[in-house]
Every structure is written in structure tokens, then in C-alpha cells.
Amino acid sequence: MIDTGHPPEQMRFQLSLRRRGISDARVLRAMEEVPRDRFVDPTDRGYAWRDSALPISCGQTISQPFVVAYMTEQLQLEPSHRVLELGTGSGYQAAVLAKLVRGVLSVERYRTLAETARARLEGLGLYNVEVMLGDGLDLGSNLGVFDRIIVTAAVETLPQSLIDRLDDGGILIAPVGPHHGVQTLIRMRKSGGTIERRELVAVRFVPALPGIAREL
């Protein structure tokens, strides 16, 4: 038997993504290169390569790997892109993005999550990610516009201020719907001042809340 250098559970993880329709070779490579077990709580590391969401600190979750891969693929990323992520969480999605683009700004409202994610990303040498503690739904005007925007928490409606941060030709992807229920993953593309909106798949995300968390 040929030794691939990957444990069986990681090989099954990759095969599962392909079987479920992830076909972008760059996305698959990024998913292979980012060690998901570094982004879960120590007690859950035995489940890190399963295709399921897992709990993390502050009542949040690390998303199901298929959802991470699917959202990443739908962004149609290029190496030159600058990406805004709202909801750093564990830092896993930011790490995958960092393998594919020039730079990522990831915004997190929980200080504990922001600091932990920053340390994980630096530990992996992913220095093209900036983790910022802040309110992703109310960002300062000094951040400019982005080629791509990904929202990793559920919003009931997409704020216009967020759409305005999308550069011409840019793509935004976000789960939109009730905070405590099933949402729809929405992809929006800006082109010449018009917005093309497409509904993708049903998902479940924790809610995006305003402000910086007072605790944690």
C-alpha cells in the first residue's frame, strides 16, 4: 500500500468533499493543507475530520467542512483578491481563504475568539490574515472596498452598508434568514452598479449580532 502521508480520516475527509461536488482544485488543496484539528477544542480533536459542525468557545461553532468548502468555491477567488470575512470564530475559514488570496480581513466580536484565532493563524504562518476585534455589521469607513465578502453568521437581512463595501465585479456570500431556524445561502455579485442575487442552499448558522461582546 502506498503511504500518502495523510491519516485515513483526513483522506476520507477529502474524498467526501469531492463526492459532494466540490471540484475546484485550488479549494480542495486549501482544505487539504489547513489542519482542521488545530482549530477545534482539544476535547473534539478526535472528530475534527468529520463532516460536521463542532462547538467552540463563546457559544459559537466551527462550520461543517463541506459548507466551508462550498462557500469558498462559490466566491470564485483569485490570488489577487482582498477578502472581508465577518465572523472569525475559530479562524478555520480565514485560514482556508488565506491559502487562496492576497489578503484577508476577518472581523470577530468576541475578544477570546479573536485572540485565539490570531494565535492559531500566526502559528501556521498565515500572515496575510488580519483578525480585528469589532462589529462586523458596523465597520468604519476607512477599511475601503473588497473583492469578496463572506459572512459566516446568519443575518436576517443584508445591510446596505455591507453591500456598499463590495468592489465592482465583487461577490458577497452570506446566510440570510431567521436567527433561530434555517437560512438560505445567498450569493450577490455587483456589476456596473447592479446587483445579481442568487439563492444557493439551505444552511444553519449561529446569528450575527451587533456590537462587540461585553464578555468573552
Domain ranges of the chain: 8-203
Q: Which listed residue (63, 90, 106, 141) is catalytic?
A: 63
pTM for this prediction: 0.93
CA 55 distance to own-chain centroid: 15
pLDDT for the residue 3: 40
**In which residue ranges of the chain is pLDDT below 50?**
1-5
Can 23 be counted among the known catalytic residues?
Answer: no
pLDDT for the residue 215: 63
- Please name the fold of domain 8-203: Rossmann fold (3.40.50)
